[in-house]
Amino acid sequence: MSSPREPIAGREELLPTRRSLLDRLRDWEDQASWREFFNTYWKFIYSVAIRSGLSDQEAEDVVQETVLSVAKKMPEFVYDPARCSFKGWLMHVTRLRIVDQLRRRQPAFQQAPSGDADSRRTATVERIPDAAGSAQQDAAWDDEWERNLVDAAMERVKLRVKPEHYQIFYLSAVKGLKTGEVARMLQVNIGQVYLIRHRLAKDVKREVERLKEKPL
């Protein structure tokens, strides 16, 4: 799998689709759907791993191992929002992989006899202090989740609008430059800056709501 810092897929592969992504993820050969999933959630997984005290390399390993864990569970996984939110489920899977990385820092891990990887992971949860499960950590994960939804929504909007329009929105709404400054910089009129910023801000908000209602 590609490093999180590398481009994940082209425009046509990341456009939102009408069919449920969850259903498509049951097919391991559906590369476009897995790229969409990876593009949407790798930043969240990576960020919470870093905030849990892992190094850059460890966080990248957590991203790849979390996605692999999700892939293995997909064939028999039944998503029931009434029992558990997708956010809660993904946080749980991510947390287990973070604990795995913390365990690997212990010298005893290097000397442990070879065996089933899943059984070692189960033992990890029992032996490692639950530093990643505190109320403070949960709140930090919630903040990271919300930030990730906005980032993912912006990326989706970016893919379907003109580059010059997204540049106007980014400079004005994200970077916080004054409207007149953006207009002069990009040689457009002030009214156009207002209009594009307002329209794309609404598009981003709709995407965020869509991801909250149907994360997969």
Is-contact 8 2, C-beta < 8 A? yes
Query: Nearest CA to 211 among 165, 157, 171, 133?
Result: 157
Of 89 and 175, more confident: 175
Is-contact 112 171, C-beta < 8 A? no
Domains of the chain, residue spans: 11-133
Query: Nearest CA to 38 among 7, 67, 16, 70?
Result: 67
Which amino acid, one-letter code, is at 74? Answer: M
Residue 196, CB-side half-sphere exposure with 13 Å CA sphere: 25
67-79 residue pLDDT tens: 888 877 776 666 6
Query: Nearest CA to 99 among 116, 120, 85?
Result: 120
94-147 residue pLDDT tens: 999 999 999 988 765 555 554 444 444 444 333 344 444 466 667 777 888 888
193-208 residue pLDDT tens: 999 999 999 999 999 9
Give the pLDDT confidence score for residue 207 in this predicted structure. 92
Query: Nearest CA to 65 among 1, 114, 108, 6?
Result: 1
Which residues lie closer than 8 Å to 2 by C-beta, 6 or more apart? 8
DSSP string, 90-117: HHHHHHHHHHHHHHHTSHHHHHSPP--H
User: pTM score, two decimals?
Assistant: 0.62
Q: Which helix (H) or strand (E) holds 113?
A: none
Confidence of residue 9 (pLDDT cuts 50, 70, 90): very low
Written as six digits, the tokens of 172 are: 């004005």
DSSP string, 23-47: HHHT-TT-HHHHHHHHHHHHHHHHH
